[in-house]
Amino acid sequence: MSLSPPRVKADLFCRVIDNLGDVGVMWRLARQLTAHKNWQVRLWVDKPEALAAMQPGLDLRLTHQQCRAIEVHRWTEPFAQVEPNPVVIAGFSCDLPDSYLTALAQMTQVIWLQLEYLSAEHWVSDFHGRSAPRTDGLRPVFFFPGFAEQTGGLLLEPDLHARQATWSHRATDPDWLASLGVVTAPETRLVSVFTYAHAPLEGLVAQMSRVEQRFHLLLPKGQRAPDLSPRSNVTWQTIDFLSQDDYDRLLWSCDLNLVRGEDSWVRAIWATRPFIWQAYHQGQDTHHCKIDAWCALAQLPEPLPHLLHEWADGQITTDLSPLLTAQGWQQWCQASSQLSQKLSKQTDLASRIDLWCRKPPHLK
């Protein structure tokens, strides 16, 4: 008989600034801690509407509810009078409510993690785990997800690869794709498209149209459709915005995934298929440093490194066609699969957070 470790009670906070990554990451983390680590999670989210898009069944009329064994609360101001839980995680280092912090400062044993943005840059290893003592005695710890052992790791469910293998074994279920309204001719490469509005989709489609190969693009509702002149070999359609679980299935079912931001990027890595990541555009070329770091780590086949920079900025001149031919494609598939396997070997983010909170290391 295996004994569960003692229950960890935690408050997770999420402000939906823009886009969906904030709540996407925090929901995934909440689910993993609850399902696999014996945590009891209270998730405070200021816009549950964003969560409802990826988690069907959430009732937006309620101020709080149980969903997948997680207590989901609408985070309103002024903040509810609640006794804080002994573990607190601020998603993307969002500010916590003043009244909550006052109550937190009166508790004797508190672990407060500021969960930061994901980046492959080297400095992340140096800053991960550092804390910043405050005048009220609280010591938030900066917890950086990342790709190296000295970071917080990546979100990866322990059973993800097994589920994915079962799925792929069924040759990426045509019935399931048909239930989304997707029916394609044989030998067509399916492409999932989730990019920022300025992604140069037309440029990519123009390159695809020069290859002897059929492509079919799947665009979730809300995604800008490419301005396509009729092409014989490149078609596209809109599909519903999917639940997070179905979005994973979509990534496993497609031959090429266009992803962005943070969470879909990581999911595309686990999907083991070729993908093109669009970094979130930041001022002062910050996103270019992130792309450089990612390309150095991932050892992407040429000409992807250059293309990713252009792709993020919304124009492509790089010729991707060498990777779209049969031989180049094989190379790209192999590189994607190897990368996924390599990164899967690391301890995942939820496990590292769990370990940190159960056995807090000496604070740096």
**Residues engaged in binding ligand TRH (CB under 6 A):** 17-22, 24, 54, 117, 194, 220, 241-242, 244, 247, 260-264, 280
Q: DSSP assignment of 292-358, as one string? A: HHHHHHHTPPTTHHHHHHHHHHT---S--HHHHSHHHHHHHHHHHHHHHHHHHTSPPHHHHHHHHHH
| 22 or 348: CB nearest ligand TRH | 22
Q: What whole-number distance in Å separates Cα of residue 154 and Cα of residue 144? A: 9
> What's the closest the beta carbon of residue 154 comes to ligand TRH, in angstroms?
13
3-class DSSP assignment, residue 257:
strand
Compute, in degrees rounded to 10, the torsion defined by CA atoms 56, 46, 11, 140.
140
> What's the closest the beta carbon of residue 268 comes to ligand TRH, in angstroms?
9
> What's the closest the beta carbon of residue 264 comes to ligand TRH, in angstroms?
3
> What's the closest the beta carbon of residue 18 comes to ligand TRH, in angstroms?
5
- Active site includes 22? yes
Tokens of 205: 């489609």
Q: Given the residues 116, 262, 313, 354, select the one marked as catalytic.
A: 262
| 85 or 278: CB nearest ligand TRH | 278
| 242 or 320: CB nearest ligand TRH | 242
The set of residues, in sequence order, having a beta carbon less than 8 Å from that of 13 and lying 6+ positions away, is 26, 44, 45, 75, 88, 89, 90, 91, 94, 96
| Whole-number Cα distances in Å, 173 to 25, 170, 179, 252, 308 | 27, 6, 10, 10, 30
| 220 or 322: CB nearest ligand TRH | 220
| 209 or 237: CB nearest ligand TRH | 237
> What's the closest the beta carbon of residue 222 comes to ligand TRH, in angstroms?
8
For the annotated catalytic residues, the residue numbers are 22, 262
